[in-house]
Amino acid sequence: MSEKVKFGRSPVFFETFNRRPGPIKKNMHYCPGCGHGILHKLIAEAVDHFGIQKNTKFISPVGCAVFAYYYFNFGNISVPHGRAPAVATGVARANPEDYVISYQGDGDLAAIGFNEFLQAANRGENITVFFVNNSNYGMTGGQMAPTTLPGQKTTTSPYGRNPLTEGYPTPVCEIVNALTAPVYIERVALTTPARVAAAKRAVYKGIQNLKERKGFSLIEVVSPCPVNLKMSAEQVNEFIEKQMMNYFPLGVIRDKTAETEGRPLPAPVVRESADVEKILLTEKRSDSVAADFRNTSSMFDKELRVKIGGFGGQGILSLGVMLANMGMLRNFNVSWMPSYGPEQRGGSACCSVIVSRKMIPSPILESGIDLMIATTQTALEKYLPGLKEDGILIYDSSAVKLPELPAAMRTYGVDAIEIAATKLGSSKCANSVLMGVLAAVLAANGLNEADQADFDRAFAEAVEEKFGKKPGAVEMNVKAYEAGKAASLK
Amino acid sequence: MAYQKRMLLKGNEAAVYGALLAGCDCYFGYPITPASEIAQSAALLFPKLNRTFVQAESEIGAINMVIGCVAAGRRSMTASSGLGISLKQEAISYLAAYEMPAVIVDVMRGGPGLGNIAPEQADYFQVVKGGGHGSYRCLVFTPNSVQEMCDMTFQAFTMAEKYRMPAYVLTDGVIGQMMESVELPSAVKYDYDPEWKMGNIINGEANCISSIYMEPNDLEELNKKLQAKYKLIEEVEQSVEEFSVDDAEIVMVAYGISSRVAQGALEQLRAEGIKVGLIRPKMVFPFPKNSLNNAVKRGVKKFLCVELSAGQLIEDVRLAIECQRPVELCNRMGGNLLTCDDVCAAVRKMI
Amino acid sequence: MAVKKFRIRITADECKGCGRCLTVCPKKLISRGRELNIQGYYAAVVENPEGCIGCGSCFYQCPEPGAITIFEEE
C-alpha cells in the first residue's frame, strides 16, 4: 500500500526559502493567519496547473508581499511602492512571451499606485493583477488604507475612519469596471472553504487568461489580517463576512474571457544591422556633390547668419530647415534653431540658420544677423535690432511696413504669399517662393554664377529629399521657387 | 546597398537614432517641452523595427516601465526635462541599487518649479549628485552637438551595460531643439541577454531582482561595492575635450551649449592675444578631475565656470582642484542664454 | 470500488498556530497543541489523522506552503 500527496507543498515554491534571512527556511514571513500565504498557494498551484512556471514573471510590491520573491521559483523583481503595474507593463512589452503577474496590497495599489494601476488596466496590458484587500496597511503596522471601513480604528485613524474627512472605502473592482479594456474582474474572499474554493477558481481563471494572452485580469482578494486587526481566526472571518463585504461585495464583476480572442505574439524585433539600416535609412543619394566640394563665392568665407520670422503655418520653420539642408548638402556646417513652446503656439514662428565653414559656436542668433526674412510686422520689429546695418532684409510687402532703416541696409519687398496663393494656388508653398526670392537676392549680392546655378540644384535636391514621396509636391515647390526668382522686388 | 547616413536632425531626434542603432528595444516616455521630439521620433521609428513605444501615464510610469523592460533583459530608455527627471528620481535610485543599466535623456529647461521651457543647465545637481535617495551615482554624458546627441546616446547604452548602472545623456533645450548634420553610426547587431535578468536560472533558482537588504551589513556591502565601482569609473572613464589649455592662464570650464558659447569666446579672446583655454567635460560623472589638475600643474592661474545655472558645475570644479586656484562664475539663469560677448567680458575682467 | 483513505500530516515546526484549520475541518480532527514549536507557536495537532476525508479545506485555509499535507492511499 503506497501513499501519494493529495494536497501539499507546491513545486512552484522553492523547497527551502534560502532568500529569507534567519533560521526559518520553510515558512513564509507573513503573520499567523495572514491571507497572503493562502493566495500565494493558490497562485503557485494555478501556475503549476497550467504549466507556465518557466515564463512566469512576478512583480513583488512594497507592502507585506514585498518578500514574495523569497518563495516563488520564477522570475521576480521587487519594485518601487505602487509601481508594480508600470514595471509589469515594461516586462510584458519587452518580452511578450512572458506571463506577468502583478501582485499588490491596498496601499500599494489603491493609494500610492492607483494611477499606474488604473492606466495599466485601461491600456489593457496583458497582465493579471492580484489585489490583496485587507483593510489596512499591514507592513508598516496597521495604518489606515483606502479600503479601511468607516469607523474602523487603525494606527492612523485612532478615532475611526471619518468619511467626512477621509472618504469611503475605495471600490477598486467597480472603478475598473468603468473601463473598457479589462477582460476579467472578480472579487473573492478568503474566509470559509466555499469562499476559498471560489477564490481558487478565480485565480485559475486569471492565470489561464495569462496563458491564453487574453489581456488584463483583476482579482481582488478580500483577505484576513488578524494580527493588525487584533482578531482571532474566527473573528477576522466574521469581520470580513459581516462588515467588509458590505463595501466589497463578492462575485464576478466582469467576465469577457469567453468572447475575447487570445492576442497573437507581436512580430519579432528587427535586430540584424543590415535590416535595421534598410528600414531606418534612405538610399544613398547619387547626385550629391563630392565630399571636398566647396562653393567659391566670397560670402561663404565667413559664417552666414540668417534669421527667419513670421507667422505659424507660413512654413517659416521649414524654410529654415530647407536652407540648412541645402547647406549640409554642400558640405557646410549648418545649424537650425527654432523658437519653441508657447511662442510657437501663440502664432509666431521664428528660426535661426547659420551656415559656416567653421565650427558654429551657438545656434542662437540675437545679433550680427547677415540676412533676415520677415513675413510679419511683429517678426520684423522683434528681430530688426539684431540685423547688421548693412544686412539684407527680405520682407513680405503686403504684411510689413518698413520703418526707417540704416542707409546701408539692403531691402527687398515681395508679396510672397500673394504669389503663392494666386499664381500657384496654394499659400503652402510661400516658403518656396521666398527661397526663390532669396536666390535672386543672393545673386544680386555677390553669389557668383557657378554658385547661383548650384543654389538651384541644391534647392532641387533638398525638395526632392523632403517631398520625393508626395506626388506633385516637388513640381509645385520648384514652380514656386521659379516664381520667386522671377518676382519683381520692391 | 548603401544608405544615406548623413542627416539633418534635431538633437532630440538624433538621440532616438543613436538609441535604435545601439539596439534599444523599448522606449517609454511622457511628453514635455523641450524633450518631446524624443518621444515623437521614438513613436515614429520604434514600431518600424517592431520595437516598442509606450506613452506612459506619467514620468513615474515611464521610468518604472524602463525598470521592467531592463529587468526582462532588454535595452530601454526614457527621456524628459527637469521636472520630469525630478519625478523619476526614486526609480533611478532603484536602478542604481539593482545594478541595472538604463538610459535617460534629460533635455534641461528653466527651473525651479514649473519654471519655463527655455534652456537652462540647472539639473546638474539632481543628475550628477545622485538625485534620489541613497549613495549612488549615474554615468552622465554631456553632448554639445547634435552629432554627440546621437553618439553619446549610443555610447550610453554600452557604458551603462558595462558598469550595470543608469546613464544620463544630459543636455539642454538648445542642443535638443537645434538641427545640425549628423553622421549616423552603424547599427550594432546584438545578442543581448544578460545573465542577471529576472527569471534566468542561476544555481537552480529563478533569478530575482531586488534592492532590499534587510541586514545592515548586507546593505553596507552593496554600498561598498557601488562605491568601488564609482571609484573605478572615476579612474578610467573621464572624458573631456581641451582647447588651447597648454599655455592658458585662464581656463574656462563649460559643458553643453555653454561650451559652444565658450568656444566662440575663446576664438575671439585668442585673437585679442588673451591666453585663455577651455576644458569641456564630455562626461560630468566621472568628473574630469585629471584634466583640471593637469591644467593647475601647467600653471593656469584662474578658472572660469561658464554655466546656465546658479553655480552648480562650479562646485565640482572647486572640489576637483581642491581650491588650489580661484574659480569664478559666468552664468545666466531662468532660460537666458550666455553670449560670446558675455563670456569674453567675464574673462577680460579676470586679467 | 474501494473507499479512498486519507491521512493528514501537520509539520509542527511549520505551523504558526493561527487556528484557521481548526475552524474548517468537517470532522473536527484538528486541535490546538499544548507545546511550543521551534518558532514559538502552539502548533495545531491532529488527534486522529486517519479520520480524514481528504476534502482539503484545512490545506487551503493554511497560509503556510507545507505545514499541512494530505496523503491519499493508493
How far away is chain A from the Cα of B235, in angstroms, using its nearest Cα?
31
Q: Which helix (H) or strand (E) holds A444?
A: helix A430-444
Instruction: Note whether residue B181 is domain-resident.
Output: yes
Q: Do A38 and C7 touch (CB under 8 A)?
A: no
Confidence of residue B192 (pLDDT cuts 50, 70, 90): confident
- Specify the pLDDT at position A282: 87
| CA–CA separation, B278 and B288 (whole Å) | 13
- Specify the pLDDT at position A426: 80
Instruction: Note whether residue A267 is domain-resident.
Output: no
pLDDT in tens, A153-204: 999 999 999 999 999 999 999 999 999 999 999 999 999 999 999 999 999 9
Fold that domain C6-72 belongs to in CATH: Alpha-Beta Plaits (3.30.70)
How far away is chain A from the Cα of B75, in angstroms, using its nearest Cα?
9
- Specify the pLDDT at position C2: 63
- Domain end position, chosen among A255, A279, A309: A255
Please give the average per-residue pLDDT across A452-471, as a whole number. 90
Please give the average per-residue pLDDT across A143-161, as a whole number. 97
Instruction: Note whether residue A422 is domain-resident.
Output: yes
Residues B174, B253 share a domain: no
- Specify the pLDDT at position A287: 62
CA dihedral C29, C35, C37, C41 (to 10 degrees): 80
- Specify the pLDDT at position A1: 63
Distance of CA B327 to CAs B100, B301, B305, Å?
A: 36, 9, 7
A67 inside 8 A of chain C by CB: no
- Specify the pLDDT at position A343: 54
Residues A352, A239 share a domain: no
- Which CATH number goes with the domain that contains A340? 3.40.920.10
Residues B91, B59 share a domain: yes
Residue pointed to by grid coordinates 514649473? B114
Q: What's the burial of A178, exposed, middle or buried (CB within 10 Å: 0-12/13-18/19+)?
A: exposed
Give yes or no for residue B194 having a pLDDT over 60. yes
- Which CATH number goes with the domain that contains B128? 3.40.50.970
Residue A269 neighbours by CB under 8 Å, 6+ apart: B25, B49, B50, B51
Q: Do A282 and B3 touch (CB under 8 A)?
A: yes
Minimal Cβ distance to B179: which of A72, A281, A335? A335
pLDDT in tens, A267-289: 999 999 999 999 999 887 766 78
Give yes or no for residue A342 having a pLDDT over 70. no
Chain C neighbors of A44, CB-CB under 8 A: 65
Q: Please state, rounded to an integer, the average pLDDT across all residues of chain A.
A: 94
Give yes or no for residue C1 having a pLDDT over 70. no
Of A283-292, A472-481, B111-120, the poorest mean pLDDT is in A283-292
Instruction: Note whether residue B66 is domain-resident.
Output: yes
Give yes or no for residue B303 having a pLDDT over 90. yes
Instruction: Note whether residue A158 is domain-resident.
Output: yes
pLDDT in tens, B240-287: 999 999 999 999 999 999 999 999 999 999 999 999 999 999 999 999
- Specify the pLDDT at position A445: 95
Chain B neighbors of A279, CB-CB under 8 A: 48-49
Number of domains in chain B: 2
Give yes or no for residue A322 having a pLDDT over 80. yes
Instruction: Note whether residue B1 is domain-resident.
Output: no
How far away is chain B from the Cα of A1, in angstroms, using its nearest Cα?
34
Residues A213, A69 share a domain: yes
State the count of interchain CB pairs (< 8 A) between A and C.
108
Confidence of residue A345 (pLDDT cuts 50, 70, 90): low
Can you give the residue range of the structural domain that contains B61? Answer: 6-236
| CA–CA separation, B176 and B150 (whole Å) | 11
Residues B140, B42 share a domain: yes
Chains that touch A (3 or more CB pairs under 8 A): B, C
pLDDT in tens, B165-176: 999 999 999 999
- Specify the pLDDT at position A441: 96
Residues A432, A337 share a domain: yes
- Specify the pLDDT at position A227: 95
| CA–CA separation, A294 and A283 (whole Å) | 24
- Specify the pLDDT at position C12: 95
Residues B130, B51 share a domain: yes
Amino acid letter for position A467: F
Residues A329, A189 share a domain: no
Amino acid letter for position B270: R
- Specify the pLDDT at position A416: 87
- Specify the pLDDT at position A429: 86
Please give the average per-residue pLDDT across A285-304, as a whole number. 88
- Specify the pLDDT at position B277: 98
Minimal Cβ distance to B64: which of A75, A83, A280? A83
Please give the average per-residue pLDDT across C50-60, as a whole number. 95
Please give the average per-residue pLDDT across B196-210, as a whole number. 93
pLDDT in tens, A6-48: 999 999 999 999 999 999 999 999 999 999 999 999 999 999 9
Give yes or no for residue A217 having a pLDDT over 90. yes
Give yes or no for residue B331 having a pLDDT over 60. yes
Please give the average per-residue pLDDT across A427-449, as a whole number. 93
Confidence of residue A291 (pLDDT cuts 50, 70, 90): confident
- Domain end position, chosen among A194, A229, A255: A255
Give yes or no for residue A115 having a pLDDT over 60. yes
Number of domains in chain A: 2
Instruction: Note whether residue A184 is domain-resident.
Output: yes
Chains that touch C (3 or more CB pairs under 8 A): A
Residues B217, B74 share a domain: yes
Residue A242 neighbours by CB under 8 Å, 6+ apart: none
Instruction: Note whether residue B95 is domain-resident.
Output: yes
Residues B254, B212 share a domain: no
Can you give the residue range of the structural domain that contains A87? Answer: 35-255
C42 inside 8 A of chain A by CB: no
C13 inside 8 A of chain A by CB: yes
Residues A306, A249 share a domain: no
Domain layout of chain C by residue ranges: 6-72
Helices A449-467 and A316-329 cross at an angle (nearest 10°) of 120
Residues B122, B38 share a domain: yes
Residues A389, A339 share a domain: yes
